[in-house]
Amino acid sequence: MGDATLDGGCACGAARYRLKSGPMFVNCCHCADCQRQVGSAFVINAIIETDRIEVLSGEISITTMPTDSGRPHDVHRCAACGTTLWSDYGRRGVMSFLRATTLDDRGALAPDAHIFTRSKLPWVTLPADTPAFEVYYDMQTLWPPASLARRRAILGDG
């Protein structure tokens, strides 16, 4: 991560945010739920502590999506235009999955891993130098130690 400011926002410009640091990890998810929710081939989620997302302007509304696990998935959107900005999977409150292409520099956060490639669209070709997984991965082996420590600081060993 460089020191560049990670600012972003919604499509209408009302909601603006700033990340106070880089994320812990960046997943590119090819699961069917993500594909439907964003209406595209995949979603790029930057995983970051919720208190490191500073809302600069606008109103954020929350839509709750059903999940297979039964734990709520809260989607945080611009209240004015509905652009999804970040999600709280499982409503843990402390960890968010920021939609990385809402950053002003849409390519600033490249995926650290591709997940749920079993439902990847057949015409999407993945780069050979980024780890890819049929479903998910073992976080303990893939995440950098510093990121694991950040996660432990907000979630404990859970």
Q: Does 12 bind Zn ion (CB under 5 A)?
A: yes
Residue 150 · residue 49 · CB < 8 Å: yes
Query: Quick check: 135 binds Zn ion (CB under 5 A)?
Result: no
CA 10 – CA 158 distance, rounded (Å): 32
Residue 44 or 78 with smaller CB distance to Zn ion:
78
Min dist CB 3 to Zn ion, Å, is 27
Residue (59 or 152) nearer to Zn ion, CB: 59
Rule CB under 5 A: which of 24-83 touch Zn ion? 29, 31, 34, 78, 80-81
Site size toward Zn ion, by CB under 5 A? 10
CB of 27: closest distance to Zn ion in angstroms? 8
Least distance between Zn ion and beta carbon 12 (Å)? 3
Radius of gyration of the chain, Cα coordinates, nearest whole angstrom? 15
> Could you tell me the smallest distance in angstroms from the CB atom of residue 9 to Zn ion?
7
Q: Which residues contact Zn ion (rule: CB under 5 A)?
A: 10, 12, 14-15, 29, 31, 34, 78, 80-81
